Chains A and B, each alone.
Chain A
């Protein structure tokens, strides 16, 4: 087998596919995609609901339909793909060790590496819910795989913790397949899911959403037999006396997504404690030259359309890296100021050129506020917003001319209008 490629893409989901296609179309012709599952497409394969692609294709596609457009794009180009191949390690000199049944354990070297491993679900363990450990507790994504890919139901009587989009989608999916979904509880005072999913997944089927509530006990020995949910106070502590009991055989957790960066850590690539993804320049290059990151491994996106967009950026610059060589970076830091959770990219480099879209999330729900991008006392950009919520990623476009005015750290801040 070949053990040297211009570009190796780790992950064949929406990010990896879009990055590989963009890299190919921008002149890098020697590309390998490594994918853990049997087929390309990543998590989209189990997201059979519609609503994907409205931004990009101006039509409402199912997840598998959206994936197929990019899989077809990869197959139409001369891009090599290894499926059922798990990457074991990555080094900072861009050597990738992987394993599959055809080649056993093998190492490939690349001029540029694109990290596109996506994210994973936060688990019950990470939340510390009291109770025994009966069968019937799943992450929402696991349940989604059972129902949509494997074709069997993980339970008949369900309570869902967390109102992220996957939890909402699964509330509807389980209901359509005949299960009774008693409740979705959300510890925050707002849902982290899209408003339309509250409407079409919960309201359509009269499934109650309990805000400021969490599961305080899971009951059952061999199998879940019920849960207790409680209201929480401002500090997210359960309030005694507010307990509600539900008989159920299944509990689904939809409590957040975490970028999957074990390989990145192994390569000693600096991660942001805020996004839990790599620190990157606007070209999506990490602080290790020639290693790029895009999609949910970099920052958890709301929509796959934005994953594709970001990944194309990484693909374009990875191709440029291969064809033109490394960039000497002249970067300034981009940091999150008051009421801003994180900003991507975390570095801006004037040498890269072009306009830069800043992606960020706010820390709370704010009405009538102003978001400012500044460098010292210089205001680069200012936008008034009627409402912003943490569940929806915000973007601001910083033009090349504005970037030219910067001479130090750039800060994004949100202030409430009084």
Chain B
């Protein structure tokens, strides 16, 4: 049995988590202050995922904030960044508009702010 130490990134508290592993699978999580921390730790030791945030240049040059609407595999982040930087859009857009469907892992790229 081995133990993996993590910092929870679910909220600003940043709990120090300890995950007990057996045969590559998490068996227990310690240190989490809430249920979200347990879930984060269990996913993190198997397949870490992140929400990617970036910008897309609209056709008139204005930068539009965007994000993936769910966490995507950490290992795919740079692939996703490439796709984001090839994306453009026409204004106006509004928060939540989908710019790229299924950019990775069933996550869509959505508008995350007013341009």
Contacts and interface: CB of A to CB of B under 8 A. Distances in A.
Contacts of A65: 65, 95, 112-113
A51 interface: yes
Interface stretch (A111-119, A144-152, A341-349, A407-415): A144-152
B51 interface: yes
Contacts of A380: none
A64 B113 contact: yes
A48 to B, nearest CB: 4
Which one of B53, B78, B81 has the greatest number of beta carbons of chain A within 10 Å?
A: B53
A65 B8 CA distance: 23
A211 to B, nearest CB: 16
Chain B contact-residue range equals: 20 to 34
A154 to B, nearest CB: 14
A45 B95 CA distance: 13
B113 A67 contact: yes
A114 to B, nearest CB: 24
B63 to A, nearest CB: 4
A261 B55 CA distance: 32
A30 B71 CA distance: 44
A199 B6 contact: yes
Q: Is the interface of A mostly helix, strand, loop or mixed?
A: helix
Contact of A68 (B78, B81, B85, B114): B114
A151 B81 contact: no
B12 A64 contact: no
Contacts of A303: 12
Contacts of A151: 55, 57, 61, 63
Contacts of A378: none
B9 A68 contact: no
Interface string B79-115: 0010001000000000100000000000000001110
A416 B1 CA distance: 37
Contacts of A54: 11-12
B3 to A, nearest CB: 17
B45 interface: no
A372 interface: no
B74 A48 contact: no
Interface in A311-368: none
A405 interface: no
B91 to A, nearest CB: 14
A148 B61 CA distance: 12
A252 to B, nearest CB: 18
Nearest to A52: B12
Nearest to A61: B112
B65 A64 contact: yes
B60 to A, nearest CB: 11
Interface stretch (A92-100, A181-189, A190-198): A190-198
A149 B63 contact: yes
A150 B113 contact: no
A50 interface: yes
A309 interface: no
Nearest to A148: B55
A63 interface: yes
Contacts of B8: 196
A394 to B, nearest CB: 13
Contact of A64 (B10, B78, B112): B112
Given A48-B53, A151-B57, A196 B81 contact: no
24 contacts: A39-B114, A45-B113, A48-B65, A49-B53, A62-B113, A64-B65, A65-B113, A67-B113, A67-B114, A68-B95, A68-B114, A149-B63, A151-B55, A151-B57, A151-B61, A194-B14, A195-B16, A196-B9, A198-B7, A199-B6, A199-B9, A200-B50, A203-B7, A303-B12
Among all A-B residue pairs, the 4 with the closest Cβ atoms: A64-B113, A195-B14, A199-B7, A196-B9
